[in-house]
Amino acid sequence: MSSLAKALSVAILMGAAGQSAAAINGAVVDRALVAIRQNPTATRLSAADAFSARSVTVDRNGTEHVRMDRTYGGLPVLGGDIVVHSRAGTLQDASLTLVAPINVGITPALTVDAAITAAGVQFGTGFQAVPSASLVVYARGASPKLAYDVLYAGTKTDGTPTRMHYYVDALNGAILGKEDAIKTGTLPGTGGVTGTPAPPPNVTATTGTGRSLIAGVLSLGTQWNNTRRIFEMKDPTRGNTHITDAGNGYRTEASTLVVDADNKWGNGATTDRVSAAVDASYGFAKTWDFYKEKFGREGIRGDGVGAFGAVHYSINYVNAYWSDECFCMAFGDGNGTSIRPLVTLDIMGHEMSHGLTSVTAGLIYSSESGGLNEANSDILGTMVEYYVNNAQQPPNYIIGEGLFVTPAWNKAIRWMFKPNLDGISPDCYPSPTTPSNGISLANFKAMDVHYSSGVANHFYYLLAEGAVVPEGYGAGTPANLTPSSLVCNGNTTLAGIGREAAQQIWYRALTVYMVSNTDYAGARVATLNAAADLYGAGSANHNAVAAAWDAVTMQ
């Protein structure tokens, strides 16, 4: 499989509305805290626990869902997050993965230097900043442990930045786990500003015309900066989302805002550097519009603040990534021959949806939760593509096919309806006794998240579309797929519920029920809960969720 494939990673029917941390309803949070303390068994409460609210969702029927982070003895608990579901002050349920209250000592036997050294053995010598370490409670394994969170920053061989967190047992130095903060970072340097800040500019929202590489001729949200006397690729109607040019360097924080004299951007070819920026601006705008129209969400964080994207990152960089730390994306220019700049709609929606995951469920980027993290980006990136329905980028359940200069049925990053078309990803979740595509359950849990994501992608396709072979992949084509090759349990009559209902169920499951350590079993519960909320327990859509999961599970 290509390195590209591995690297890339409506108002809800019940009227739910998410709130940013700045706008959280204090009374709702107070009721959730009371519910936690009144139900210590269900919430795995210990005497040393404290909680801080991250988001609030309130349904029309008054049910309140409060997502909280947990600390123990003042230390962050990784894997201790919880969503409290209550109504009228009475706990209905709690979403969490802790199996028992935490009971660990918080005095380390290992020194900070020893922890950094233990992590450095795995990272190697190519780090670009002084490593740091802080104490945490690591509750992502079978039992919580006191650990150091050791951070090493550097650059991978393909130019992608890495900010690798190693979790080192604070008693014996064992590596308990690791996770990269870059979803496929902040880069070297702080980007700090010196001197007296300039006063805010005098700006006016405008509409520009862009000629993109991929999406055709477009209208763009831009602004006229009356102070600088120039048009800027910044959209004040979408939270000041803006596009910068990284100058083929490695520092997104030092990239330069894209500007223009006449509000006409790009020439539709790579001979104008701005053409890729046009695609990026378009993708940011349409992803913003998708989340707002379908889910009532104002921006990735739900706080009305736009992210930014840096085009022309590095040289011959065949990748794109999202960084939670800079709240930004970076786009490579491809390899200059067979791969285009990575600014297609599905890639744009994919990367920005990593930001959504970060501020909601916070799915850990490793093992099964990491696969779900990647799948969420594929799922919602695909739904952005369908929402836009641009004839230049026809929507489908194939990820990244528009990046290839010479299209073909087998040139893509991932295929949601048949993940194993890439030759690696399993189509279905292995059972303890039955592998999927030769992959055992143990190997599935350990494999790269860009491959284990395939099972959730496959589930979503079957939920939305049913056991229907997409055009161009049926019997007699090179793929030669049949309905029986799309399911793992022989249910070739499986019917889809449509994209509108499927995306509502998935979004609610992610934002209301999933937590950082949710695995595939937990995702099944979360989507069933979401379907019951939206359409009723035992409804056709609720039953369809169960049937779709059954169809992607080895028997």
| Integer Rg of the chain from CA | 23
For 17-95, CATH gives 3.10.450.490
Cα pseudo-dihedral 348, 349, 352, 355, rounded to 10:
-160
User: Given the DSSP bridges, would you call strands 230-232 and 217-225 parallel, antiparallel or unpaired?
Assistant: antiparallel
Query: Which has the closest alpha carbon to 78: 102, 46, 109?
Result: 102
Checking if the pLDDT of 212 tops 50, the result is yes
How do residues 419-461 score in pLDDT, each as one tens digit? 999 999 999 999 999 999 999 999 999 999 999 999 999 999 9
Checking if the pLDDT of 524 tops 90, the result is yes
Burial of 327 (0-12, 13-18, 19+ CB in 10 A): middle
Place of tokens 């309140």: 64
Burial of 187 (0-12, 13-18, 19+ CB in 10 A): buried
Q: What sign results for the dihedral spanned by CA atoms 363, 364, 370, 374?
A: positive
Question: How far is 328 from 315, CA to CA, in rounded Å?
Answer: 19
User: Are the C-beta atoms of 272 and 280 separated by less than 8 Å?
Assistant: no
pLDDT at 199: 65
How do residues 330-387 score in pLDDT, each as one tens digit? 999 999 899 999 999 999 999 999 999 999 999 999 999 999 999 999 999 999 999 9
Same CATH topology for 112-180 and 367-551? no
- Residue 281 is given by DSSP the state H
User: Are the C-beta atoms of 225 and 206 separated by less than 8 Å?
Assistant: no
Query: What's the CA angle centered on 94, arms 91 and 97, to 5 degrees?
Result: 160
Catalytic sites, residue numbers: 351, 450
User: What token pair was written down for 199?
Assistant: 């006063």
Question: How far is 158 from 320, CA to CA, in rounded Å?
Answer: 11
User: Are the C-beta atoms of 301 and 286 separated by less than 8 Å?
Assistant: no
User: Are the C-beta atoms of 359 and 198 separated by less than 8 Å?
Assistant: no
Contacts of 190 (CB under 8 A, 6+ apart): 253
CATH number 3.20.20.140 given to 112-180: no
Checking if the pLDDT of 235 tops 50, the result is yes
Place of tokens 């992502």: 140
Contacts of 113 (CB under 8 A, 6+ apart): none
User: Are the C-beta atoms of 518 and 527 separated by less than 8 Å?
Assistant: no
User: Are the C-beta atoms of 57 and 17 separated by less than 8 Å?
Assistant: yes
Which amino acid, one-letter code, is at 334?
G
Compute φ and ψ for 132, nearest 5 degrees: -125, 160
User: Given the DSSP bridges, would you call strands 308-311 and 328-331 parallel, antiparallel or unpaired?
Assistant: parallel
Burial of 34 (0-12, 13-18, 19+ CB in 10 A): middle
Q: What is the pTM assigned to this prediction?
A: 0.89
β-sheet bridge partners, residue 230: 225
How do residues 90-119 score in pLDDT, each as one tens digit? 999 999 999 999 999 999 999 999 999 999
How do residues 24-39 score in pLDDT, each as one tens digit? 688 999 999 999 999 9
Q: What is the mean pLDDT of the chain?
A: 90
Query: Which has the closest alpha carbon to 78: 33, 20, 123, 145?
Result: 145
- Residue 470 is given by DSSP the state P
More confident residue, 378 or 126: 378
Helix, coil or strand: residue 270: coil
Mean pLDDT, rounded, for 454-480: 97
Give the domain 203-343 fold: Elastase; domain 1 (3.10.170)
Please give the distance of CA 512 from its chain centroid, rounded to a whole number: 15
Place of tokens 């997104």: 252
Give the domain 367-551 fold: Neutral Protease; domain 2 (1.10.390)
Long-range contacts of range 487-491, CB-CB < 8 Å, 24 or more positions apart? 487/462, 487/551, 487/552, 488/427, 488/428, 488/436, 488/551, 488/552, 488/553, 488/554, 488/555, 489/550, 489/551, 489/553, 489/555, 491/467, 491/547, 491/550, 491/551
pLDDT at 175: 95
How do residues 244-258 score in pLDDT, each as one tens digit? 999 998 877 778 999
Of the chain, the percentage scoring pLDDT greater than 90 comes to 83
End-to-end CA distance of the chain: 28
Query: Which has the closest alpha carbon to 230: 268, 257, 269?
Result: 257
Q: What residue spans define the domains of the chain? A: 17-95, 112-180, 203-343, 367-551
Checking if the pLDDT of 190 tops 50, the result is no
One-character DSSP codes across 117-161:
HHHHHHH-S-B-S--EEEEEEE-SSSS-EEEEEEEEEEE-TTS-E
pLDDT at 12: 24
